[in-house]
Amino acid sequence: MELRSQVLLWKLVLLQSSVVLLSSGPSGSSTAGSSVVSESAVSWAAGARALLRCQSPRMVWTQDRLHDRQRVVHWDLSGGPAGGPARRLVDMYSAGEQRVYEPRDRGRLLLSPSAFHDGNFSLIIRAVGETDEGLYTCNLHHHYCHLYETLAIRLEVTDNPRVAGAHWDGEKEVLVVERGAPALLTCVNRAHVWTDRHLEEAQQVVHWDRQPPGVPHDRADRLLDLYASGERRAYGPPFLRDRVAVEADAFARGDFSLRIDQLEPADEGTYSCHLHHHYCGLHERRVFHLKVTEPAPEPPPRDSPGNGSSHSSAPAPDPTLARGRSVINVIVPESRAHFFQQLGYVLATLLLFILLLITVILATRQRRRGGYEYSDKKSGKSKGKDVNMAEFAVVTGDQAFYRSEDIQLDYKNNILKERAELAHSPLPAKNIDLDREFRKEYCK
């Protein structure tokens, strides 16, 4: 009976090994070559600085700070008799730490302590019961390389020893084990990324290639070689070698962008960035088709007004016609600040006008007051002169006119009437010759 069970286990190991090789063969061959991740066409003006971006977070070698804790394997179980979500059974790090989650599984579930050295991550269940049925998954994680691989095995328990065995259902392996017998869930992966840990500095390299127009990829010229250890090598033609550069901390940030200063028409061609991480199995290539255009012409100096040159020059072409796009005029509403600014201008103008009007009024009054004083002074000067009384003619015509008016009054008797007539009658005008009187006085 023991011989039969050992033969059955060996058959299961051989069957699982062949399945693993078939499933991992295509993926291993695909990572051996360099795959084109992106391909783009870029255009820069002559004399400008070109920047060809090549970034990859997987090439940051400083991420591997945990060393042997970057690789881990864990077994999960889902779809058992009780149902429910998947639960963790056991896991182990590359440093050898192994952990079993359920107390009843301690001593029943075993992993090889040398799993990360020989690549055998198989799980051994010593005594299989009905509660062990379900879908088992073997999960391999490499946190530094961002690799995740999963292998599924379905375990069924039977009481008939003739039914025990293993077969492939088209998607996964189905293992039928007799109740109480040991079960071996095989998971083998001997890729060096799971079994060995190499020095990162020796496993990472980046290089830039350049293909002139019409040159195939296999005849491209090497421009730069960058190693994670810090070593750098520059190649290429002399006219381009001194104008290309990559940042010094490229491996610390995962940014290997190529910078080309002072572009020239001879710099046209196809540039490719190759990323190789042999430890993680990373081989990527990014392709850039660089085209150098003529620099934009500088705008002509604006002619000064009045020299007559602006009338003779032809009008500049409308840039919107060359682009074939319509011009949309957008009217931006004025803000409150603009309104208050205009209001301030109006108030200031009104205030200046009022001040000017007040100045004119004060000046006019001052001038009139000065005229009155001048006339008073002139009349005061004339008081000291001798006045010839002969110059003034005594006009009695007015007095006679007013006195000769006939006033119609009613009187009680004739005496009163006569008195009134005498009072209103004009006195005889007396002509006095002043010159004659002065002569008389002089002669005396």
Tell which residue, 87, 203, 75, has the closest CA to residue 144.
Answer: 203
pLDDT digits (tens, 9 = 90+) for 404-443: 444 455 555 677 777 777 776 655 555 666 677 667 666 6
The H or E element containing residue 438 is helix 434-443
| Confidence band, pLDDT 50/70/90 cuts, at residue 349 | very high
324: left (phi over 0), alpha (psi -120 to 50) or beta: left
Fold equal for 2-33+67-195 and 36-60+201-293: yes
Lowest mean pLDDT among 33-47, 114-128, 148-162, 331-345: 331-345
Q: Cα(209)–Cα(241) distance, rounded to whole angstroms?
A: 12
Q: What are phi and psi of 347, to 5 degrees?
A: -65, -40
Q: Are 239 and 29 in contact (CB under 8 A)?
A: no
Q: Cα(72)–Cα(58) distance, rounded to whole angstroms?
A: 18
Within 13 A of 377's CA, how many CA atoms are on the CB side? 6
State the average pLDDT over residues 295-318. Answer: 57
The DSSP symbol for 332 reads P
Q: Are 272 and 285 in contact (CB under 8 A)?
A: yes
Question: Which pLDDT does position 321 carry in this prediction?
Answer: 46
Coil, helix or strand at residue 406: coil
Domain boundaries, the chain: 2-33+67-195, 36-60+201-293, 390-439
Q: How many residues does the chain have?
A: 444
Residue 97, number of CB atoms within 10 A of its CB? 11
Owner of token pair 């010839």 = 388
Q: Cα(37)–Cα(285) distance, rounded to whole angstroms?
A: 6
Token pair belonging to 237: 């033609």
How would you classify the pairing of strands 71-78 and 134-142? Answer: antiparallel
| 215: CB partners within 8 A, 6+ apart | 269
Highest mean pLDDT among 19-33, 54-68, 147-161, 187-201: 147-161
Q: Cα(412)–Cα(37) distance, rounded to whole angstroms?
A: 149
Q: What is the CATH number of domain 2-33+67-195?
A: 2.60.40.10
Lowest mean pLDDT among 158-167, 205-214, 315-324: 315-324
SS3 content of the chain, % helix, strand, coil (to 5): 35, 25, 35
Whether the pLDDT of residue 84 is over 60: the answer is yes
Question: Which pLDDT does position 122 carry in this prediction?
Answer: 95
For the chain, give the percent of residues with pLDDT over 90: 36
Question: Which pLDDT does position 273 carry in this prediction?
Answer: 95
Coil, helix or strand at residue 33: coil
Coil, helix or strand at residue 10: helix
Q: Are 56 and 254 in contact (CB under 8 A)?
A: yes
Token pair belonging to 59: 């090439």
For the chain, give the percent of residues with pLDDT over 70: 68
Radius of gyration of the chain (CA): 61
Tell which residue, 194, 177, 101, has the closest CA to residue 139.
Answer: 194
Lowest mean pLDDT among 53-57, 294-298, 341-345: 294-298
Whether the pLDDT of residue 255 is over 90: the answer is yes
CATH number 3.40.50.1390 given to 36-60+201-293: no
Could you give the dihedral angle defined by the CA atoms of residues 233, 292, 40 and 282, in that order, rounded to the nearest 10 degrees? 0
